[in-house]
Structure 1
Amino acid sequence: MKAIIFDFDGTLADTLPVCFYAFQSVFKEFDDIEVTEDEIKSMFGPSETGIIKENLKNSSWDQAIDMYYHKYSEKHVELVTANEEVKNLLHLLKKQEFKLAIVTGKARRSLDISLDHLDMNDLFDVIITGDDVSKPKPHPEGLNQALTFLNITNDEAMFIGDSDADIEAGKKANVHTIGVQWLPNFQTQTFSIQPDQRVSRVGEFIELLISEMS
């Protein structure tokens, strides 16, 4: 195992609350409707730009997208708590000389806001965002790009995510896929496609990794 690839929202950072807040603000402002968290989850896949363009009835997309990022940044400190266990895990993996990557549906703009706020810059060798692919998860395009940039084969990587789309993308890319539910807010309560393994604690993943390496 040479590389560990992560999803971001709900996997590396507890950002779902700020995503919900920003989307709810946009739909209220532009369509005058209240959207639930489950309704927002059902829109996930494309980047924020894609979600707004595909689901907002009001065609003032540029203004709506700008508002989304403004709201996302404005409430990030208040709604997103850094998870020290996850951060320590990333530093541990770096120390063990694993290559680290992110494959996320988020746009680069919101990911950069989160990485900056959470002091996670410079931890990753490769980052693939929703801006970098034509086909979002569950399509494996993003994962395949990451493998290419990391210069490794699919049997040298594992992918870690919290949603059905993550698990399906991992399976389609033929990488060892782990479903995690270790943050307070994650996307999928019950995976409809079974990952190779499931973990509910960061410590459990570290134990799993040690056993894989021994």
Structure 2
Amino acid sequence: MLINNRNEESCIVFDLDGTLVNTWNIHLKTLYETSLEITGLKHSKLDIIHANKITERETLSTLLGKMDSEYALEFYIKKFMENLNSCEIEIFPGIENMLISLDDAGCKIGLFTGRKRDTTISLLKKLKLIDYFKSIITSDDVINSKPSTEGLIKVIKELKGNKEKSLYIGDTLTDIEIARATNITSIFVNWNRNSISLQKNSQVTIVDDSRLLLLYIKNFLRINK
């Protein structure tokens, strides 16, 4: 094992969508099909993007208003499973190699997502990523999902980690705020190199390359090169 003994309580926690995988195509397609089923309306792509929130339930509530949210969520999950076999879903470049490297080094790796458990597990199995994670916390595993800190704290607890020695990696301002609220170090991934307000905040580490991300993680966890 390559990890320094002083870091036995260290762990690394990842967000899922936008951080490890690009699920925009399947998410937008499934939201469109769900909206059409529930309302009969053909929402534009822009309408759907503007309605997108942290969780599937919140997104559907924003998009559909006061329609039957439970049936809508069930339909979304069903269609998402079907679309897994037809939509292009991309693991961001270098991510799988990074996970392999961290796993080989004996890192405790967890996942914290606002997505439902059914869609999360199906997605991870489809992409053959599930075995890298020793703890997976979804919106179904907490009372309060994102932007609550509950899920991040639960992942670290399941990994038997120490907050001060742990790292959370995400792609939204919400992820950074969750980490900050729990006094956990965070990294913001910016794969699309979008112009964001965080770029002016010197207290936030921003990376746009998976090799650089791996280097940051190894330095934080003091993994021997």
TM class, shorter-chain normalised?
0.7 to 0.9
Q: Residue 115 of structure 2 aligns to which amino acid in structure 1?
A: K
Matched, 1:27 2:74: no
Q: Residue 211 of structure 2 aligns to which amino acid in structure 1?
A: G
Q: Which residue of 2 aligns with 1:105?
A: 114
Which blocks of at least 5 consecutive residues in structure 2 are unaligned?
A: 1-6
TM-aligned CA deviation for residue 170 of structure 1? 0.8
Q: Which residue of 1 aligns with 2:88?
A: 79
Q: Which residue of 1 aligns with 2:22?
A: 14
Q: Which residue of 1 aligns with 2:143?
A: 134
Of the two, which has the highest radius of gyration? 2
TM-aligned CA deviation for residue 36 of structure 1? 3.6
TM-aligned CA deviation for residue 116 of structure 1? 1.2
Q: Residue 87 of structure 1 aligns to which amino acid in structure 2?
A: E
Q: Identity over the aligned pairs, expressed in percent?
A: 24
Q: Which residue of 2 aligns with 1:94?
A: 103
> Does the CA contact (< 8 Å) of 1:103 and 1:143 recur in 2?
yes
> Does the CA contact (< 8 Å) of 2:51 and 2:63 recur in 1?
no
TM-aligned CA deviation for residue 133 of structure 1? 1.9
SS at match of 2:120: helix
Report how many aligned residue pairs link the two structures: 210
Alpha-carbon distance in 2 for matches of 1:16, 1:114? 13
> Does the CA contact (< 8 Å) of 2:135 and 2:155 recur in 1?
yes
Alpha-carbon distance in 2 for matches of 1:149, 1:139? 17
SS at match of 1:122: helix
> Does the CA contact (< 8 Å) of 1:160 and 1:179 recur in 2?
yes
| Normalised TM-score (structure 2) | 0.82
Q: Residue 111 of structure 1 aligns to which amino acid in structure 2?
A: T
SS at match of 2:136: strand
- Output the aligned Cα RMSD: 2.5
Alpha-carbon distance in 1 for matches of 2:187, 2:14? 10
Alpha-carbon distance in 1 for matches of 2:26, 2:80? 6
> Does the CA contact (< 8 Å) of 1:30 and 1:58 recur in 2?
no
